[in-house]
Amino acid sequence: MSPPTPPTLKIQNVVSTVKVATALDLVELAGRIPGAEYDKTKFPGLVLRHASPRFVALVFSSGKLVLTGMPHPDVLPEAFATALEVLRAAGATLEPFDPPRVVNIVSSGSFGEGVALQRLAIAMNLEHIEYEPEVFPGLVYRVADPRGVALVFGSGAFVVTGTRTEEQGARVVAEVRRAIDQAAAWIPV
C-alpha cells in the first residue's frame, strides 16, 4: 500500500489587526462612508465590506482595525491600504501605527480518505484531543507547537485555525497526519 498523499491546505480566511487611532467616532464615519454598516445594538464596530480585494474591515471606537475575509495573507497590504484610504477620505484622524499583524489563518483540506475518529481518540488518549460525537461531529486536535487547532471529520476533511502562517498550518496538519498513522498502527482495523 502506498503512503497517503500529503493533504493540500486551502486558505479560507485571514484575520489581521492593527491599532490606527486612539479613538474614532463611528457614528460620524458611518455617515460619511457609503455602504458602511453601523448599529451598535447589534455589533460594537463599524463594518466596511470591500469586493476587490475581498475583505471586511471592522472598525472600533478604540481605534482598533480588524481586517477579515481575506483569501490569502498576500492580500493584506492592499486591503490595509484600501481600508486606510476609506477612513482618511471620511475624515478619520489616524495616528502612527505598526504594520498590521496576522492573528489567525483558517485553512481547510482533506486527508483523501476517511478517518476513524474514535480509534484516533482512543489511541491518542491525550489532553489536547477532544472527541464528543454527541456534541460535535468532529475531533478537536490542539497542537502546542506551532499553536493551532485542527478539526478533523470522519470523511477525512479538516479545518485548521489559530495559526499565523501557511507554514504553521502545514505543520499542524503534518502532526495530525502522524497521529492518524500511529493510531492506525496501534489499533489494527
- Judged by average pLDDT, the poorest of 12-21, 74-83, 127-136, 159-168 is 127-136
Predicted TM-score (pTM) of the model is 0.89
Express each pLDDT in 1-38 by its tens digit. 556 667 889 999 999 999 999 999 999 999 999 999 99
Average pLDDT over residues 39-66: 96
To the nearest whole number, what is the mean pLDDT of the chain? 92
Q: Within 10 A of 182 (CB to CB), how many other CB atoms are there?
A: 13
Query: Residue 135 in contact with residue 52, Cβ under 8 Å?
Result: no
Average pLDDT over residues 119-139: 88
Instruction: Report pLDDT for 184.
Output: 77
125: which 3 cell numbers? 488518549
Closest Cα to residue 161, out of 180, 181, 140, 175?
140
Average pLDDT over residues 100-116: 95
Percent of the chain with pLDDT over 90: 82
**Domains along the sequence of the chain with CATH:** 16-102 (3.30.310.10), 111-186 (3.30.310.10)
Instruction: Report pLDDT for 3.
Output: 60
Instruction: Report pLDDT for 124.
Output: 78
Instruction: Report pLDDT for 128.
Output: 86
